[in-house]
Structure 1
């Protein structure tokens, strides 16, 4: 007799779960206790195990479906066994936005997603959406969820997969690769800590590496899709464009009406007009993350965040790496002291850095890429073009929106020059970072729903996931010195107990303060857990906590974050764990 597989209730507050992926296919033999599928709850990802031994004879709900707890999602039984299944599997998909004033859910029929009229290409739902969001990246999906939380009827148009560049081709994939690099570095340093391995030989399986990366990405994109579904956001697949009469078309076929529109189309890799740049051996950051072979020599054009991170990855994988940067230092937007230390670390890892170098032309020869610069020629197997990103303005080709240097001009409310249209994330170019896009998306949605909110981007942290990591927030020393009478505090991780115990004593924390009032103007960290530590600095700065107050906060010991507190104290000449300065 068939046994039902149900959505488990993994906690008192859990009401529904999202199916992330099935680990077995229909017809597969399953042993009792063996994982069947992975689900996402509001708290955690977890595997659902088979309660009996048998064959997976039917899957009722697919990946991305949001299902109420205790509902049947599939059946186990004997091979070939038939089971009576209702014609339609019930999927719980209600949000706060779908509740009536009395607190009861409206009938499913009343809240069904709009269905296009056959042959008209116009939504059959006579009531327009409160908000239509174009783009399902960090700004877009957050805006859609926020608008729904505020009671709006919301649609989202996405031409690819929800999650945007960050989730699919940027932040998350690169961090998955960087973890591999971290593991390899740990193997190399094991002997220094008295861990003597019988062999340190290893091989790199790029097929497996890419598969793991894709698995992580799929888990998160399915999670985003489930979140949107749980909030009742209708998702349209296709290219969204805004018409002159402020309607949204999907692939030029279907038209959606909305009271307000949020543009969140993101960005695309920037390209430069250099002879030979069209070569198939030249990859963008989008393409290199699916590379199935390790280049013997990888040239990286651009020494910004993406270039430095992927240099770290492919050097760890065994490639010779050369970074070509037109500016006179790596990471030119960061504090100069951080840039200098990054160059030193790159040299230590045998990454060749060519700063102040102008690219002239590329040419293929015998399956290799010849790269000509104003400082000579080098040969590589592949080149990565990572000179930044530009706003993707495909959605507004028919609009006369005001632009600034190729990006949509907005105010602090994310309002564009056209009433009722907002722009958040990379399209406005204020901060081309996913976490900044999250906040901009929230603010755009709140204002589209009639609120009055502004975004403050003064304390957005920047992170660089090299080894060691970099975290920065606020003004660089150069910028602060031009405007204030400053004091600078420094503390080395070489004097931090947790860092030394972990074998991670390289790097420092640098704090810049206004000497008159003790205001913290900038914090720059290169060292272990810098991308985590910088959030404390950003939080304190946004709350206008002074250096005098921070120096009195008790930090746990031993922790990496003690180094931040010590650097703040040093800016006031109060640092306890630093040698007394000579008079």
Structure 2
């Protein structure tokens, strides 16, 4: 038996951020990971997918150079092995960095499957039994959800965990799921020349985002040649020697047959608790498999001293890597006995790295109105800006502001900002501060945005709401 201050089960973004912060506060930390530290985000999700999406942007750039700017450039072929090698180098360097940080911080990393053996005890296969003086942190993450009757074989039917690790690029893809993961993978495969059909059961893509975001995103994907079917469901699938034949029931009730070399299932993720044995510590998961905290301000479960971070948390946690970093900081500081501000999920930015990109923070217009709030809304197309015309990809910035004035003027706090367009993932940070700090349109209108930039759209929308509009009336 080995005693320590904190035991963390799971070395993904939530787990290793907890470990690094706890160690920096002088706590002895044991981190148990059965695979590679960094988790899904580093090895199968965020990092490799964004690397591939960047490669897709380069291909799209060549097409734009030829079609818009008179530059007679073409992509003769894609060297898949070279592309994969670059992706893997990026992942490996990030992995080495995380491993190095943990070692430098004095975190003891033990490799093996871990299970709870009591409210303060953990057994790690091959490493023994550990007890924690301060507490245990559960950070076992999530895995892709599969539909009943479908089994991923890594070739014809794949999940987001293995879609980018196939031996070659497919010529056609049916993507099932129009959330962030499905939209990103649809976008990447289209950039690489595949015929793509994107199917979403809800009546719009990214159904949790503002309706304007969904509308402009769908328009942009269709303009790129992606077939988008919303309000549609998969009713049957037949495996072929070289792909799949699927029947899709459209929003109009018609059955459409789609044949593709690959069916990519991206219908969400489910928490990983297999083998964790939460009952041994007096814990229970909810009906969806999440481990809910009893105290969200500490992310502490009903069993004192056991905390949860990352994808094991139910909503309002967002299942996003950057949110789990914040959760790790909160839990580490809580275990160290120092004050820490709870995570404000309303101010966590949400980004989809498709082409076009989407980025948002705060309440959608529908959410604000559903809460009974009086709001003022303003939108500005990116094509109204000189820089937006240069990019030529369309897009929009939409802001939602509380209407606190007697006449319904937009004098209240900024409630939400929503964007679609090129590089909006790099623009959302400003809006995160506006929402988090309860800025008002008059506050933003005092700030001068560089010209010509896409970020001018943020400045212009607030200038108009503050009654000082220049190019928008």
TM-score (norm 2): 0.92
1:276 Cα deviation after fit: 4.1
1:535 Cα deviation after fit: 1.1
Task: Indicate which of 339, 357, 371 corresponds to 1:469.
Answer: 357
SS across alignment from 2:165? coil
Q: How does 1:194-343 map to 2 (within 5 A)?
A: 194-197=69-72, 199-251=73-125, 254-259=128-133, 260-273=135-148, 275-278=149-152, 281-343=156-218
Q: How does 1:132-531 map to 2 (within 5 A)?
A: 132-192=7-67, 194-197=69-72, 199-251=73-125, 254-259=128-133, 260-273=135-148, 275-278=149-152, 281-374=156-249, 375-394=255-274, 396-399=276-279, 400-404=282-286, 405-410=288-293, 411-429=296-314, 430-453=317-340, 454-482=342-370, 483-501=372-390, 503-504=391-392, 506-516=394-404, 517-531=411-425
Equivalents in 1 of 2:346, 2:150: separation in Å? Answer: 40
Equivalents in 2 of 1:457, 1:563: separation in Å? Answer: 25
Listed one character per residue, the Cα deviations across residues 281-318 of structure 1 (whole Å, up to 9, x for unaligned) are: 21011111111211121111111101111111111111
1:504 Cα deviation after fit: 3.8
Q: RMSD of aligned C-alpha atoms?
A: 1.7
SS across alignment from 2:245? strand
* Structure having the larger proportion of residues in helix: 2
SS across alignment from 2:283? coil
Q: Which residue of 1 aligns with 2:252?
A: none
Listed one character per residue, the Cα deviations across residues 40-60 of structure 1 (whole Å, up to 9, x for unaligned) are: xxxxxxxxxxxxxxxxxxxxx
8 Å contact 1:279–1:364 — kept in the other structure?
A: no
Distance change >3 Å, CA 200–CA 329, structure 1 → 2: same
8 Å contact 1:262–1:445 — kept in the other structure?
A: no
Equivalents in 2 of 1:394, 1:154: separation in Å? Answer: 23
1:519 Cα deviation after fit: 0.8
1:398 Cα deviation after fit: 4.0
SS across alignment from 2:120? coil
Q: Could you list the runs of 5+ residues in structure 1 that have no partner in the other structure?
A: 1-121
1:539 Cα deviation after fit: 1.3
Equivalents in 2 of 1:347, 1:528: separation in Å? Answer: 16
Task: Indicate which of 547, 555, 568 corresponds to 2:462.
Answer: 568
8 Å contact 2:114–2:276 — kept in the other structure?
A: no
Equivalents in 2 of 1:541, 1:388: separation in Å? Answer: 27
Equivalents in 1 of 2:141, 2:183: separation in Å? Answer: 22
8 Å contact 1:489–1:569 — kept in the other structure?
A: no
SS across alignment from 1:133? strand
8 Å contact 2:460–2:471 — kept in the other structure?
A: yes
8 Å contact 2:140–2:311 — kept in the other structure?
A: yes
Listed one character per residue, the Cα deviations across residues 78-128 of structure 1 (whole Å, up to 9, x for unaligned) are: xxxxxxxxxxxxxxxxxxxxxxxxxxxxxxxxxxxxxxxxxxxx33xxxx2
8 Å contact 1:491–1:570 — kept in the other structure?
A: no
Equivalents in 2 of 1:528, 1:295: separation in Å? Answer: 26
SS across alignment from 2:8? strand
Equivalents in 1 of 2:416, 2:119: separation in Å? Answer: 45
TM-score (norm 1): 0.75
SS across alignment from 2:162? helix
Distance change >3 Å, CA 201–CA 555, structure 1 → 2: closer
SS across alignment from 1:257? strand
Q: Could you list the runs of 5+ residues in structure 2 that have no partner in the other structure?
A: 250-254, 405-410
SS across alignment from 1:535? helix
Task: Indicate which of 544, 562, 572 corresponds to 2:438.
Answer: 544
1:365 Cα deviation after fit: 2.7
8 Å contact 1:324–1:355 — kept in the other structure?
A: yes
1:412 Cα deviation after fit: 2.0
1:164 Cα deviation after fit: 1.2
Listed one character per residue, the Cα deviations across residues 16-57 of structure 1 (whole Å, up to 9, x for unaligned) are: xxxxxxxxxxxxxxxxxxxxxxxxxxxxxxxxxxxxxxxxxx
1:389 Cα deviation after fit: 0.7
Equivalents in 2 of 1:218, 1:504: separation in Å? Answer: 35
8 Å contact 2:173–2:194 — kept in the other structure?
A: yes
- Structure label with greater radius of gyration: 1
SS across alignment from 1:394? coil
> How many pairs align?
451
8 Å contact 1:512–1:571 — kept in the other structure?
A: no
SS across alignment from 1:311? helix
Listed one character per residue, the Cα deviations across residues 208-241 of structure 1 (whole Å, up to 9, x for unaligned) are: 1111111100000100000001100010111121
1:196 Cα deviation after fit: 2.5
Equivalents in 2 of 1:398, 1:330: separation in Å? Answer: 36
